Chains A and B, each alone.
Chain A
Amino acid sequence: MNQTVQDALPDYSLAELMICAAAEAFRDDGEILATGIGLLPRLAASLAMKTCNPDMMMTDSEAFMLSEPNPVSGREPSQDKGHVGQAQETWMGFSRIFDNVWSGKRHALVGPSQIDRYGQTNISALGGTYQQPKVQMLGARGFPGNSIHHANSFFVPAHSKRVFVEDECDVVCSIGYNPARLPKGYRFDDIDIRRVITDLCVMDWNGPNHMLQLLSVHPGVTVEQVLDNTGFEVHVAGEVPLTTAPTPLQMNIIGQLDPLNFRAKQIKDNPPGDRR
C-alpha cells in the first residue's frame, strides 16, 4: 500500500471499526468454527475468514458449513441446496454443532446482556428468583457448554454499567474466572475468555488474576469514559493506544459482505468511527 492510499483512508463508521476490531479476535485461531451471533459479530467473523484467518470455518446459520461466508443480506432459499449460490461444503445440523462445541474447536463471539468482573455472563433472566424472575430473557441457551468447552469473545454495542455490572450477573450462564465457582480439578487456564469489543474500546481478560484490561480505545473515546461506564475495576497498563482504523481492503470486503448496509442500523444513530 503506498502513501497516497494511506492518506486517503476512507471515513468509517463505528460499526465498521467494531467489525474490524472484532475480526482480530479470530486472527490466531486457525482451523476452528467461528460463530458470530448477531449481525455485526457475524460480519466480524466473515471478515476474519476473508482476511486474517482463511483457515476458519463458518456456517450459513442454518445447516451447512461454508467455504465462503454468505452476505448478511442473505441468499434465497433453494429446494435442493441450503441457499442459492452458497459455497456449502459440509452438512452441519444443530446436533452436529454440539459435536464441534464439545471438541473445543470453536470460537463464539456473543452479545451477553450482563458481564461481570469475573467474565461471567447472563442472557437468561434479570432479578427475582429462579422460580419467578423479574424479567425473563432467552434462557441460558448454549452459554454454559460453550464457556467450558471453547473460546468465547464478547460484543457489546452499548458499553454501560447495565452490561458491565457491579455485582455478579443475576444468572451466571457462562463460567468465568471466579475462584469461588472454580470446579473441582479445574484451573483458570482451562477457561478461555478472549476479547471484549464495545462501542468504546477493546479489552481482554489478561489483566492481573484475569482482570478485564483495556487494550485500546476508539478514536475520540477517553480512558475515563471506559472506566466510568464499567461497573467494576478495569486494569489499565500505561498508555492506551487507539483502536486500529479499518483499511481500504477491509472496508471493501465489509461492503461485499453487507451490500445493503444493514450494519448502518446496528449502533444507535450510526456514529462515525472516529469521534475526535
Chain B
Amino acid sequence: MNKVQSAQEAIRYIESGMTIGVGGWGPRRKPMALIRELLRSDVRDLTVVSYGGADVGMLCAAGKVKKLVYAFVSLDFIPLEPYFRVARQQGDIEVMEVDEGMMLLGLRAAAWRLPFIPTAIGLGTDIIKNCPDLKRVDSPYDDKEWVAMPALNLDVSLLHVDRADARGVCQIKGPDHYMDDWFARAAKHTIVSCEELVATGYFYDGEEARQVFWERSNTHSVVPIPGGAHPSSCNPFYGFDVRHFKEYADSVKAGGFAAYRDKYLGGASEEEYQQSVGGLEAIRRLPLPVY
C-alpha cells in the first residue's frame, strides 16, 4: 500500500465544516507546511482542536476557524499568540476552552469510541460553568459528581513526524511525541508530513521501531516535506525559529496578518516558502532550544 501524496493532494480530504486536530505542542513539531497548504485552499468553517501555537493563530487570522477547542495557545517564549488574541478579543470565533488533560481525555474517548470519559477536571471552575459542551454526571459507584469530557471526534488530523515509510509507519525520535498518537487515533483520516521518507526496512534495525507510537492503520496520507515544521521545531532536526516567530508576532502591529502572508505565504508551494526563509539548509541549522 502506498500512502505517499503531495500536500495539495492530502489537504483535499479537508472540507469546509470539518473538525480537524493538529498535533505538536505550542511552538514544537507543528505540521506547519500542511497548515500553509490549508491556508492556500478555500476551505472554511473548521472546528480546530489543538495544543495551539502559530497553527491556530494563522488559521484564525486567515478566517478558517469557526470554532476552536483549546487549553492554551502560546509560542512559549512569546507567551501570548498574537493572532489568537486578536480573534478572541474581536469575538471572531466560537470556543470550547478546556484543560490540557481534558483535551487528552477527549481524544482518548474518540480513539476508544466512547461518548465521554469521566474526570474531576473542571469541577469548581468556570471551565464547566462557561462551556455548554461540558456536562456533569453522577457516578453509579460513589456520591460525587464528575465532568463528562466528551469525545473529540476528528474528521482529519494533521501531524508532522521525523520519519515515515510509504505505508504510514511513523517515527518520532525527538524527546516527546506529545499527544500525536491520540490525534492519530481520534481521527477518521490522518495526514502525516515527515522529514524523511524511509524504506520499511529502516525500522528493522535496533531500537528504531520503539519510537513508533501508533499503528500504520491510523495513518492515511504520508507527505514527505523536509523542514515542514518550520517555524516550529522538529527536535532533533532543528529548533524553532526565534527570529521568524518574533517577526510573525510583531506583524500584528505592523501590517497585520496580510503583511506576513504577503511576505511568506504568497507563493504557490512549500518550496517558495522555504526559499523565503533561507532554504532547507538554513532551517536544518536552527539550534535546538536550551532548557
Contact = CB atoms under 8 A, between A and B. Distances in A.
A142 B291 contact: no
Contacts of A137: 80
Interface in B142-184: 142-145, 175-179, 181-182
A178 interface: yes
Interface of B: 25, 70-74, 79-80, 84-85, 88-91, 94-95, 97-102, 104, 119-127, 129-131, 138, 142-145, 175-179, 181-182, 235-236, 239, 287-291
Given A75-B290, A77-B288, A130-B95, A141 B124 contact: no
Interface in A96-150: 98, 101-102, 120, 124-125, 128-145, 147-149
B226 to A, nearest CB: 18
Main secondary structure of the interface of A (DSSP, over half): loop
Contacts, number: 159
Contact of A145 (B74, B89, B99, B289): B99
A126 to B, nearest CB: 10
B123 A93 contact: no
Interface string A63-83: 110000010001111010011
Contact of B175 (A64, A141, A175): A64
A62 B127 contact: no
A136 B175 contact: no
A202 interface: no
Contacts of B25: 94
Interface of A: 60-64, 70, 74-77, 79, 82-83, 93-95, 98, 101-102, 120, 124-125, 128-145, 147-149, 171-176, 178, 181-186, 191
Contacts of B125: 120, 140, 143-144, 147, 172-175, 181
A21 to B, nearest CB: 25
Nearest to A83: B291
A38 to B, nearest CB: 11
B126 A132 contact: no
A136 B127 contact: no
Contacts of B126: 124, 171-173
8 contacts: A64-B175, A77-B239, A93-B178, A131-B91, A136-B89, A140-B125, A145-B101, A173-B125
